[in-house]
């Protein structure tokens, strides 16, 4: 699967829960205090990312484009959008992240935190039922979070229908200190 093959009106999907690895890193760096159960889960997500190798071949047949989320959802989705010369609308309420992040207003960790190694993929709408069924059969969380648009912008729409602005786009390999 290529980054450059996302099509207008494709659904955008992700596996798993986003932001946990970045939360684990922040905990290890003593930048944040977490409840004990969440701390263990977040550090586990950082140190032992979940690989979804059991669905990769199936997803390849159903998808137009894909990437792993290593630099953060926004950064890695932007790679697909740029390569495919398209844009996207995301629904903030649909993006799977731990409720603790939302409760503590740390949504940007879920949107821009790196090292999740979840899959981000686009599929034609006609494949929604197959993907939902795959999620049930394989017990892998697959969540539809938005759609590809012809307009080359990336919009994140919050629960009130307003545009959500992120503070950070994701990990930048060439960032200077």
The tens place of each residue's pLDDT in the chain, 177 residues long, gives: 899 999 999 999 999 999 999 999 999 999 999 999 999 999 999 999 887 777 888 999 999 999 999 999 999 999 999 999 999 999 999 999 999 999 999 999 999 999 999 999 999 999 999 999 988 888 789 999 999 999 999 999 999 999 999 876 654 444 544
User: Is the pTM of the predicted complex or chain greater than 0.85?
Assistant: yes
The reported pLDDT for the residue numbered 100 is 96
Rg of the chain's alpha carbons, rounded to an integer? 16
Q: Which residues pair with 157 in a beta bridge?
A: 91, 163
Q: How big, in percent rounded to 5, are the helix, strand and coil portions of the chain?
A: 40, 20, 35
* Sign of the Cα pseudo-torsion (96, 102, 103, 104, in order): positive
Q: Are 23 and 139 in contact (CB under 8 A)?
A: no
Q: Strand order of the sheet with strand 142-149?
A: 65-69, 118-123, 11-15, 142-149, 87-91, 154-157
């Amino acid at each position: 699967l290529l980054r450059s093959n996302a099509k207008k009106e494709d659904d955008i999907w992700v596996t798993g829960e986003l932001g946990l690895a970045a939360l684990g890193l922040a905990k290890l760096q003593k930048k944040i205090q977490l409840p004990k159960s969440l701390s263990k889960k977040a550090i586990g997500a950082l140190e032992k990312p979940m690989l979804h190798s059991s669905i990769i071949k199936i997803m390849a047949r159903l998808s137009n484009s894909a990437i792993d989320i290593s630099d953060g959802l926004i950064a890695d989705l932007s790679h697909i959008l740029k390569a495919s010369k398209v844009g996207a609308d995301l629904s903030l309420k649909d993006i799977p992240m731990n409720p603790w992040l939302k409760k503590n207003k740390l949504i940007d960790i879920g949107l821009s935190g790196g090292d999740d190694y979840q899959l981000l993929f686009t599929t034609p709408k006609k494949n929604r039922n197959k993907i939902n069924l795959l999620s049930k059969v394989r017990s892998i969380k697959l969540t539809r979070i938005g759609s590809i648009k012809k307009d080359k912008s990336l919009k994140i729409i919050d629960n009130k229908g307003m545009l959500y602005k992120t503070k950070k786009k994701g990990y930048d390999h060439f960032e200077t200190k």
